Amino acid sequence: MKTRLLTTSPKHLRLAADIISAGGLVAFPTETVYGLGGDAMNPSAAALIYEAKGRPSDNPLIVHLADPAEAVHLTEDIPETFARLAERFWPGPLTLVVRKKASVPDATTGGLPTVALRIPDNAVALELIRLARTPVAAPSANLSGHPSPTCWEHVRADLDGRIDAIIKGDPSRVGLESTVLDLTGPAPLILRPGLVTPEEIEAALGQPVTYDPAITEPMDPKSAPRAPGMKYRHYAPRAEMIVFKGDPEVVVRIIEERRLQEKAAGKKVGTLLYGQAEKHLIARDFFSRLRQMDQTGVDLILAAAVSTEDSVGFSIMNRMLKAAGYRIEEV
């Protein structure tokens, strides 16, 4: 298949929307990461998404809307919390999991009785969804297991020849995928941490919010993840990766020693040292750095853990530990 590169001109967005309405796939920018969009109400489009990504089909897709009013067509008994969160955070990097209506295909939700909804904070994405006149199912537009794409060039590197078109929008300004919040249980539960923090959600709801134990204790076999996507190896660079945790000065020294050692042993080593950089900038940069390392043929990445005292740091560490396959050395 020839993958068309489209601009964000009205003519090209119209074309992209027509591709989606006709059951095809278009990668598009969002504020978090690029998404691989298809008609959420068309089971064969959902099947194509899984095929293009090489993704297991039990891992449900996020359904993107342009207007919160559309949610009523997709969900059964909308909880009161839903309206408050949609009002406060949409458009934005928060995904809400609610009960689905029968009309939402099982192919889109991986057979779950729930559906994940989000309104992205990106003008191109919103215009595309409006023009397509259908909810747009979109996982991150990477090959399954690769780091999420934060610019169109990343999408092309993974999916050229596998999808109909890529919209060449701006790089994603958030850089990590949305916070996924499950509203179907007795209390709101974060299934995936992101830049919308538990503190912000608690403030909006006036009730406590907890993390799925699969996030806080990812290595505990007892805590099976409730977001099916969390159980697969993720964000992995081709290179081997080790995370060093401890006193920042000691970490820097140990990484430098290790770098010289491994280099002497013939390895091409890359380091990921963010120092005191602002957390939102680290988040924006992280996936892109992993891809750069792979491109330059790095065999081993030595990374310094970032502090998890704040929720944004916690979200970054969630991705960093996954990328490293939980290989961590305390120093």
The residues of the shown chain that bind ligand TXA, judged by CB under 6 A, are 30, 32-33, 35, 59-62, 93, 95, 97, 109, 112, 114-116, 118, 120, 138-140, 177-178, 180, 191-192, 227-230
DSSP 163: S
Residue 138 interacting partner from Mg ion, ligand TXA, none (CB closer than 5 to 8 Å by kind): ligand TXA
253 or 326: whose CB is closer to ligand TXA? 326
Q: How far is the CB of 296 from ligand TXA (least distance, A)?
A: 25
ω into residue 60 within 30 of 0, thus cis?
A: no
Q: How far is the CB of 285 from ligand TXA (least distance, A)?
A: 16
Residue 175 interacting partner from ligand TXA, Mg ion, none (CB closer than 5 to 8 Å by kind): none
Q: Which residues pair with 100 in a beta bridge?
A: 75
Residue 109 interacting partner from Mg ion, ligand TXA, none (CB closer than 5 to 8 Å by kind): ligand TXA
Q: In sequence order, what are the residues at sequence separation of 6 or more whose Cβ sits closer than 8 angstroms to the Cβ of residue 247?
A: 331
89 or 235: whose CB is closer to Mg ion? 235
Of 185, 197, 191, 186, the closest CA to residue 216 belongs to 191
Both tokens assigned to 23:
């059951």
Neighbouring C-alpha atoms within 13 Å toward the C-beta of 166 = 25
* Residue 122 to residue 125: CA distance in whole angstroms: 5
110 or 270: whose CB is closer to ligand TXA? 110
Residue 228 interacting partner from ligand TXA, Mg ion, none (CB closer than 5 to 8 Å by kind): ligand TXA
Residue 230 interacting partner from Mg ion, ligand TXA, none (CB closer than 5 to 8 Å by kind): ligand TXA
Residue of this chain nearest to ligand TXA (CB atom): 229
119 or 293: whose CB is closer to ligand TXA? 119
DSSP 150: S
Q: In sequence order, what are the residues at sequence separation of 6 or more whose Cβ sits closer than 8 angstroms to the Cβ of residue 180?
A: 62, 95, 97, 116, 190, 191, 192, 194, 227
Residue 301 interacting partner from ligand TXA, Mg ion, none (CB closer than 5 to 8 Å by kind): none
60 or 188: whose CB is closer to ligand TXA? 60
Q: How far is the CB of 292 from ligand TXA (least distance, A)?
A: 21
Identify the helix (H) or strand (E) that includes residue 94: strand 94-99
81 or 140: whose CB is closer to ligand TXA? 140
The residue ranges that bind Mg ion (CB under 5 A) are 140
- 3-state SS class at 309: coil
Q: How many helices (H) and strands (E) does the chain have?
A: 11, 15
